[in-house]
């Protein structure tokens, strides 16, 4: 009995539908097809875009083609919607003498007419993908014009999406956003804000520590004064965009947001945020007794000065001279 590989791929734009129902329907159809041809089979399934070339299950299947005689898919577009990648897969399938079976019929790539059919179907799948992507992009822009959140499934910290896809405030998270903007107006650096948030025990939605990267991103996000914005790109170029104010309840005022932007823009020189800078009498005067490198004085979380341990390399070995607390 011949061995077949069943490949099931759910498209990203089908995730809004019933995933398990779609996969079950496809799986049952291909298992029935395998039984009709008296084939034993292994099943590979995943959720991925058709233009993605880094699909673990497909790549695993392709690495084991030596053991298979048939590849069963619902349609050619389930293999790939990228023309170049589809042609690469075709070459591999021909090299291993793999025949493709679909509910619509069989494709023997050793036959010139079937090979052309495969290439034509792959080309049409690519064209269809581009049309779907274009329609989805236009749909997102149309929804954004109505003040709905369509940028991504992930909603910014401080908000959640209601049943109408509009943003509503989550107060436990919004207080973090207000704190970030208020401290920025007080000219506190992102690094210091991150430390203060950590001390307060305030975390991201997933429970992670809020880093300077999170803070920097939040301070530039127009969503916090009630804006929904979206854009559509073609070949990396923006061809259409939407910017809607008063789309949802703001966490901060527009005036606050603009004042923060002014501070951030002025900070390009690095001189506009309050930074704790202590002057110590022994600074730049201490040197390591082992490697003769300069030693540095720092302050710990309790506000106590200490000499930082030395970690320079000597003849490819790290200097082990330890630090110590000091009172200066």
Model confidence at 195: pLDDT above 60: yes
CATH 3.40.50.1390 residue window(s) in the chain: 3-131
Architecture (CATH level 2) of domain 3-131: 3-Layer(aba) Sandwich (3.40)
Confidence category of residue 76, pLDDT binned at 50, 70, 90 = confident
* pLDDT of res. 79: 87
CATH 3.90.1750.20 residue window(s) in the chain: 146-269
* Residues 87-145 pLDDT 10s: 889 999 999 999 999 998 898 888 888 888 888 888 887 777 777 667 666 777 787 88
* pLDDT of res. 240: 77
Residue 9: phi, psi to the nearest 5?
-130, 130
Topology of domain 146-269, CATH: Hect, E3 ligase catalytic domain fold (3.90.1750)
Q: Which residue has the higher pLDDT, 237 or 177?
A: 177
Helix (H, G, I), strand (E, B) or coil at 237: strand
* pLDDT of res. 281: 63
Burial class from Cβ neighbours inside 10 Å (0-12, 13-18, 19+) for residue 57 reads middle
Residues 6+ apart with CB under 8 A from 149: 155, 159, 161, 165, 166, 167, 228, 248
């Amino acid at each position: 009995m011949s061995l077949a590989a069943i490949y099931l791929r759910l498209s990203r734009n089908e995730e809004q539908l019933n995933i398990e129902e779609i996969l079950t329907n496809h799986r049952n159809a291909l298992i029935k097809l395998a039984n009709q041809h008296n084939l034993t089979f292994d099943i590979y399934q995943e959720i991925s875009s058709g233009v993605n070339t880094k699909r673990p299950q497909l790549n695993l299947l392709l690495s084991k083609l030596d053991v298979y005689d048939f590849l069963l898919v619902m349609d050619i577009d389930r293999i790939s919607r990228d023309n170049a990648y589809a042609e690469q897969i075709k070459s591999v399938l021909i090299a291993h003498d793999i025949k493709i079976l679909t509910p619509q019929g069989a494709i023997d790539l050793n036959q010139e007419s079937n090979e052309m059919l495969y290439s034509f179907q792959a080309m049409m799948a690519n064209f269809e993908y581009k049309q779907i992507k274009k329609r989805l992009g236009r749909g997102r822009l149309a929804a954004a014009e109505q003040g709905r959140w369509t940028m991504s499934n992930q909603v910014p910290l401080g908000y959640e999406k209601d049943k109408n896809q509009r943003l509503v405030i989550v107060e436990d998270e919004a207080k973090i956003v207000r704190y970030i903007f208020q401290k920025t107006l007080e000219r506190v650096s992102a690094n210091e804000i991150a430390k203060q948030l950590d001390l307060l025990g305030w975390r991201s939605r997933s429970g992670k520590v809020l880093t300077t990267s999170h803070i920097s991103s939040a301070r530039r996000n127009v969503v916090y004064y009630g804006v929904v914005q979206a854009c559509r790109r073609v070949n990396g170029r923006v061809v259409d965009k939407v910017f809607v104010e008063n789309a949802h309840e703001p966490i901060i005022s527009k005036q606050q947001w603009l004042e923060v932007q002014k501070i951030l823009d002025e900070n390009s020189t690095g001189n506009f945020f309050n930074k704790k800078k202590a002057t110590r009498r022994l600074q730049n005067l201490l040197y390591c007794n082992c490697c003769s490198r300069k030693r540095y004085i720092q302050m710990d979380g309790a506000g106590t000065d200490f000499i930082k341990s030395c970690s320079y390399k000597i003849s490819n070995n790290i200097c082990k001279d330890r630090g110590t607390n000091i009172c200066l």
